[in-house]
Amino acid sequence: MKMPADESDVGAVAVPDRRDEDLKLLGSALSHDLDGSVRGVKSLSTIILNRFGAQLDDEGRAMMRLLGSEAERANRLLDGLTDWLTYAQQPLTPAWQDTSRIAREAFGTASASARERKIEFEVPSLPRVWSDELALRKALHELLANAVKFTARQATAHVTIAAQESDGEIVLTVGDNGAGFEMEHSNQLYRLFRRMHRKQEFPGEGAGLAIVREIMQRHGGRVWADARVDEGATFYLAFPKPAEEDAAT
């Protein structure tokens, strides 16, 4: 197994009650206040264009369309932040998970919009991991969705998932033959809304890997990556094995 060249600083994190309360308040503000305001801006820009577009010059109409576009982007950013907050605070219910089944289902949803493409996806028999099912499904979905996205320029995309097991942990790997990235910038991978590629090349707001990192933190695990530009990327998810008394419950 390739050891992490740039392992994100994940480990068992004790989350104080105050942080939980702050996250809940922030999530409520995002979902009820900011989200409604942003949607209101988008709606108003559309109404103005429809009702008063003829009274505006070309520059005015372009500015209103730009306002609507920026409101849509702000709404996507809010959705990403809300998603991150959900996995940062929701209770975990760890158990032994059917990793192969969850991986196949996650790939099905991650590749739903790319049915016309030729994507080869390999899922061997994977060992079970001790994790929360929804969190594991989300982490695999985000990595597989990235693999599908960043192989868009390949005539045939190859997406793989595998596992390696040691005494203390089970490491899942998700690899692809896509665009890859410069490892010297990999310290930015797990920061919320940080992107490694231009949006004109690949869409997205950059929340997925931050969510994966948060999920692994809360499991006391690790996440890291290895990549080469134009040769693809591989992500590693290391789930610690539970103590015998935990696994028996």
Domain closes at, from 34, 64, 89: 89
Q: Which residues of 211-220 are buried (b: 16+ CB within 10 A; e: fewer)?
A: bbbbbbbbbe
23, 113: one domain = no
pTM: 0.75
56, 154: one domain = no
pLDDT tens over the chain, length 249 residues: 655 555 554 444 444 455 666 566 565 566 656 667 777 888 888 888 888 888 889 898 888 888 888 888 887 788 888 888 888 888 999 999 999 999 999 999 999 989 899 999 989 999 999 999 999 999 999 999 999 999 999 999 999 999 999 889 999 999 999 999 989 878 888 888 777 666 656 666 678 899 999 999 999 999 999 999 999 999 999 999 998 756 665
* Number of domains the chain contains: 2
The CATH number assigned to the domain holding 131 equals 3.30.565.10
Domain closes at, from 89, 119, 144: 89
Residue 231 lies in a domain: yes
34, 134: one domain = no
Domain that holds residue 120: 94-247
